[in-house]
């Protein structure tokens, strides 16, 4: 199914519900030795990946990734990044991205994070498999309600697409890709790399590459402060080709080396990450 507008997403998800789906969880639960070519990464939001069946006899595959869990990029038709406030939807063709907002004042209630949390608590237990499938069906139904609300409450299209906002959203979702290029970002937005740089520099005062570097540094610092990962592992998780280059850029940006960042061991993110407290990063 070709997805080019919001109503296409609605039709696609409705077909997933009608056709049936299998459920899986993705992530690294113990130990950690991330191969860079697999694009291991981590989010602070829920992610649901939907892979279409290769033949009519197969079911769709829904993969749920909880916040704070290391996982790799996988084949999927559609990816949903879910928070209480908003659902960001991207499709495999990479020709668009949609923001589906939850408007509590208008009665559009977003229960997705709570439903996802309950589902992942029991999804690994065989005796609760049917329950988890039912909960996942409720997740898709809730998402359909949100999309329907967005379609019905949409004002006449008089605004110009905010290129900077979509570019920054894309970079925040894909910063972990080592080979993420300005050309790829511009292609996703539907403009030339030169035009993208011009617009982003005009609105942020920085080039596209500089914005991407700052996003990577921000996510790297959050992991340094709230996890027990080694510096080289964090460099891999946030898209840097070399831990040494990462350390140099980090020091130039923050005035301290990654090893000097204080660790907050009571942060909730630490509980979700693979245990590695016994390891220490050697001084550089």
Q: How confident is the model at residue 240 (pLDDT cuts 50, 70, 90)?
A: very high
pLDDT of residue 1: 67
Lowest mean pLDDT of 83-87, 214-218, 267-271, name the range: 267-271
Candidates 3.40.50.720, 3.40.228.10, 1.10.10.60, 1.10.357.10; correct CATH number of 163-272?
1.10.10.60
pLDDT at 209: 94
- Amino acid 211: pLDDT: 95
Residues β-bridged to residue 60 = 21
> What is residue 215's predicted lDDT score, i.e. its pLDDT?
95
Higher pLDDT pick, 272 / 33? 33
**Residue 110 vs residue 49, higher pLDDT:** 49
Mean pLDDT throughout 190-213? Answer: 91
In a 13 Å sphere around the CA of 275, the CA atoms on its Cβ side amount to 1
Domain with CATH 1.10.10.60 in the chain: 163-272
For the whole model, what pTM was predicted?
A: 0.72
For a pLDDT cut of 70, what percent of the chain falls above it?
81
**Averaged over 105-123, what is the pLDDT?**
78
Q: What DSSP assignment string belongs to the chain?
A: ----SHHHHHHHHHHHHHH-EEEEE----S-----GGGT-B--SSEEEEEE--SSTTSPEEEEEE-TT--B-----SEEEEE-SSEEEEEETT-S-EEEEE--GGGT----HHHHHHHHHHHTT-GGGHHHHHHHHHHHHHHHHHHHHHHHHTPPPS-SPP-HHHHHHHHHHHHTT-TT--HHHHHHHHTS-HHHHHHHHHHHHSS-HHHHHHHHHHHHHHHHHHH----HHHHHHHTT-S-HHHHHHHHHHHHSS-GGGSPP-TTSHHHHHSPP-TT--PPP-
pLDDT, residue 38, reads 60
Largest CA distance in the chain: 58
């Amino acid at each position: 199914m070709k997805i080019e507008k919001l109503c296409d997403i609605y039709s696609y998800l409705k077909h997933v519900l009608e056709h049936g789906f299998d459920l899986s969880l993705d992530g690294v639960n113990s130990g950690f030795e991330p191969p860079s070519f697999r694009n291991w990464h981590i989010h602070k939001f829920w992610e649901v990946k939907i892979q279409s069946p290769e033949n009519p006899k197969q079911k769709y595959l829904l993969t749920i990734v909880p916040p704070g869990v290391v996982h790799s990029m996988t084949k999927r038709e559609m990816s949903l990044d879910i928070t209480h406030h908003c659902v960001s939807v991207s499709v495999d063709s990479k020709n668009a991205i949609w923001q589906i907002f939850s408007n509590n004042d208008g009665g559009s209630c977003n229960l997705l994070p709570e439903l996802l949390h309950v589902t992942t608590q029991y999804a690994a237990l065989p005796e609760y498999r049917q329950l988890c499938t039912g909960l996942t069906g409720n997740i898709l139904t809730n998402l359909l309600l949100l999309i329907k609300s967005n379609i019905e409450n949409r004002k006449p299209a008089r605004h110009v697409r905010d290129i900077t906002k979509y570019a920054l959203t894309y970079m925040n979702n894909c910063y972990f890709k080592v080979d993420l290029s300005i050309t790829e970002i511009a292609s996703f937005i539907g403009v030339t790399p030169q035009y993208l740089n011009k617009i982003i520099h005009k609105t942020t005062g920085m080039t596209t590459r500089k914005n991407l570097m700052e996003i990577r540094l921000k996510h790297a610092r959050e992991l340094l402060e709230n996890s027990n990962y080694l510096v080289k592992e964090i460099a891999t998780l946030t898209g840097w080709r070399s831990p040494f280059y990462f350390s140099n850029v980090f020091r130039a940006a923050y005035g301290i080396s990654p090893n000097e960042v204080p660790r907050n061991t009571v942060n909730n993110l630490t509980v979700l990450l693979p245990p590695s407290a016994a390891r220490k990063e050697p001084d550089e």
